[in-house]
Structure 1
Amino acid sequence: MKIKTLFIAPYPGLKELALTLAKEQQSLDITVVQGDLQEAIPIAKQYEKEDYDIIISRGGTAQLLRQHTLLPVIEIKVSGYDILRILTLVKDYHTNLRIIGFTNICQGFVSVSNLLGVHIPYTIIHDQKEVAEAVRQAKAEGAQTIIGDTITCKTAEANGLQSILITSGKESVIEAFEQAKQTYQAMKNAAKQVKLYKQLLQKTKIPIAIYNENGTIQFASSSFQKILAFTKNDSDESSIYAYFPFLDNAYKQLCQEIEPVEIQYAYAINDEWVQLRQGYLKTDQNENQYYLRFSEKDDNQEEYSLSVTAIQPIMTSFSQIVGNSHPIQTVIHQGKKAAMHDEPVALYGEKGTGKKTLAGIIHCESKQKDEFLLLVRILADYREIIDHLKSILAHSEKGTCVLQGVEHLRLEHQDDVAQLIHEAKTRTIFLFEDSPINLLRQKKLSTHIFKQFKQNQIRLPSLKEYMEDLDEYVRKFIAQYNVKYGKQIVGVHEEALRWLYSRNWKDNLQELSHVIEQAIQVANHEYISKEDLNNIFKNIDDYHQPGYSFIDLNKPLAEIEKDIIWKVLQEEEMNQTKAAKRLGINRSTLWRKLK
């Protein structure tokens, strides 16, 4: 009988690596989930009830689990291979680096770095509680990028620094599997009540979830789980606020005040519009319970002309922006000035230049940083948009509203928006692809709105204007997607890098990020090669030739289908949404077929 093993990965890339290696283990029945530190505790407790025998995790998560579970916990160690890969990746970095970790980690890095001639300052900690102070001290001493474990990287990012996670390679994971076999023990039976609820909810066809005041999901139908990927393998979040942050705070109070009337929202999930209805449930225990359900999609597209998203910024500090070129430094300088006041600001630039990212940084560097950050996208001109926007601004105390697409409204409707913004307590950041002055001349922008940000405009340059920074961005994306996909790519071959420099990046950083992400997925060696890029674009040299669409019909059907999808992606400049629409599928199906 196989050993039932729970593998809790603190970061996505380790999860993907474990899933791959688990297939090779004949004596282990391995379930792989993602969870970091406190997130891992409820996961471990759940599987403890399902006859699992042993847990494998890493670093601080493994240490924490030992305090909260009766199951034996195997810790994945950081190997010399792991250290060597990280050092190879960062040896050409042009930023000040600092390693923060326990004695065994730092000593390992010192030993290997001395062999390579790479000297990186380090700080030894003896307890996770020392991480915050170590990061603050490193920042004070001029460190810009922190190398460490998951909690160290999160702490670094919270302090406005860049971070590189020390990832675990296959050697370390295989060693943990072997140790698990040696320390195998049997544990408890599964909880019958949980199974009963699960069976009941799986039979419920209506997508609905019930959650409490804290946002903890009490029940979720199987159809609800399918829509939002609330499954044990795909999600580690038990709070509905992690998926719909706008349901928290003022929205909860509003929901109670209008009960039994439901609050409706138009929301985009996987680029498909759905209608959400939120209601309030009064229980016998006087506990506040809420429900969220999906209603039938209306064929009237005008109803879905507004998108409201609560943003969790991927960057929180100007110091996290990569690049030393004059255009980038100009943006940083102007952004810092914008963060010092609460007046409306306009950010404009081509698609993919980072307008939303900059808006998030301005918010996080301003005095509004602890308040709401909402992205409101206007997709079409429809009178109800004004009413929706009025409700959003009225129920958001302070905070920042990032408004995109206001130019799609008629001028009289734009004047209404200008009045709402003037009366609101929230700070507004406008996003445009075209310059506001051009929109004004074309009579696509109201003079009242233009006057609100006339003195506060920031133009984001296209990637071709700061190509000298491209190498830095490539390294940043490699580090980012190594973590996501469990890879240990350390750079780009010169021939492939030359092609990256020669490409016309129509979607700018967004497109570069997509290309590096796909290259990371297909690369089988330590460096991204031109052959890896060929696997993405099929033939780089022929790709730009008019009418090129070679498909090898001698391949199996699944491979032909994959070639067709890649070709459509190329023609749509790697825009996943447009490609999926052309093919008549959604984005999740598109990427599933490419795996």
Structure 2
Amino acid sequence: MKILAIAPYEGLKEIMLAMGKAENFELQVEIGDLKQGVALSKEALLNGTDIIISRGGTAAMIQKEISLPVVEIEVSGYDMLRVLTFVKDYPGKTAIVGFSQISEGAATICEILNIEISSYTINSEGEVKPKLEALKKEGYQVIIGDVITVSEAEKLGLNGFLLTSGEESVGKAFSSAKKLYSYINKVKQQYTIPYHLIKEEEKGIVVLSEKKSKLFSNKYFDSKIGEDLLKKEEFNVAFENTHKTGSYSSIIEDQGFFWEITGDQLSIDSSKMITFKLTQSPFNQSSLPSGLSIVSYNQAISKAIKVFLLTDNDKLKKTIESALAYRSKIENIWISGEKGTGKESLAYFIHFHDTTTSEPLLVLNCELIEDDSWVSLVNKSGSEKNKTTVLLKNIEAMPLQLQKKLMNQLKTNSLHANFIVTSNGDIHKYVRDHKILLDLYDELAKLTIELPLLNERIEDIEIISRLFIHDFNTLYGKQIVGIRKNSIDILQQFNWRGNINQLKQVIGKCVLLAKQPYIEKELIQHVLDSEQINSGNEEIDLSGTLEEIENRIIQKVWLEEGMNQTKTAKRLGINRTTLWRKLKV
């Protein structure tokens, strides 16, 4: 056993060194008080020290700063009696000043022995001098305390008497240190095997404090994953939800790989910790079947679902209530509506409305799928009891032969999945035109939702516009504080053929062009006058100057890329600064 003893004064050091010669442990004794003691302890942490012995306020400070076990040299009743007996007949008013370990015990003994000496407790080194100055003004002449108190008292011209520790207190501290060391060794032996099993586990394990500082990680986490994952937005969601509810499970993408993550709360005494286990999925981004993506809850989805979370439209509110009720019963849901009405955002809302329990969503873009290879991933992700949720996006684009295969799998219950389906336009027309199998529709449409046009929910235009302003402020580094009421009136009277998507494009352009704190009526009108719905087949107007034609092309590509400047600049082969300048023309 290796012990560092920190003595606040020379006499205590000599007692400990003398008594340490009869002990069978390695003892190092240093002089240090308060901050000096903490500094010495930090060095000991690096030198293989097992236990630290110190006294009073120094011991308390070390316990807060250092992870090593600390044994306190108590100020015993004998110690207090010695100094109190010595000063009781000393002329002048006397006070005891010190940390609670000293002041409270001394006050008790004074009360028992009927000794009239006042006792004052300090909580930090900075409180000593002001307290002594106040006592001096009150006529106190004698101060009993520890090293720092006596030193400051003598500087102020007061008589200081050091409350010393005797051999019985040192002997008791040595005995406590040996018992503590024996107990620690037993605990180490008990937990060495599980510790090494966790350290060598073939999955990532990391333990975080309530403030998200890392307390432990195993070898797999350090070598295969790394701390950069802890900074990702998806991990923040996992941490916050585990902290709030006690458990969480999801999938996180990192550097092209998917990690299945489970979080749990761990309580030890009064401390709470968050533990995460991460297992690498056999799939990575590059190996996913064509058209399939794995989506976990993130900031972009959080923004997208707000257009439904904050709706003022009574009909839409009832529709959402029905969707959540069906979702809770694990029923398939079919969402239809015109382009731009927010079908995919509603699908995210239905799936992720409870972010504490929702699993990741598998999104299958039916316009891009080439075969049914996605089925194997779905079945590996889910089970018969715990089915995966799949979003079939634009199902009318799924080839009929793949629809037939999907129908057969649904009939034979060979697919471990529940479905949220989206389609553009009139479902019944697709069925009549044999673009969607009637049997497949009947199976997937346990609940049908038809999203209203934006023109049918004009009461939502103001709140949606404000949400978009906030998002575009962040994207463009602008500080638009709002939109004028007469501007809202114009937006509500406009014919939104492109629905929410078109509104987003208009607000994005207004935020980009705005030069005042508010979006004014004139700017809204200017943007709406030049607004053209991006149909995908729309021809570019080639009239006017070369600069005007160039600007139309840039605007079209910008809208096609969802107003993403990085993607637009890359597609046009220009840098972002040039794009920014041209968009503002």
Q: Tell me which interval the TM-score lies in, with the shorter structure as reference length.
A: 0.3 to 0.5
TM-score by length of 2: 0.45
- Highest relative contact order (Cα 8 Å, sep 6+), 1 or 2? 1
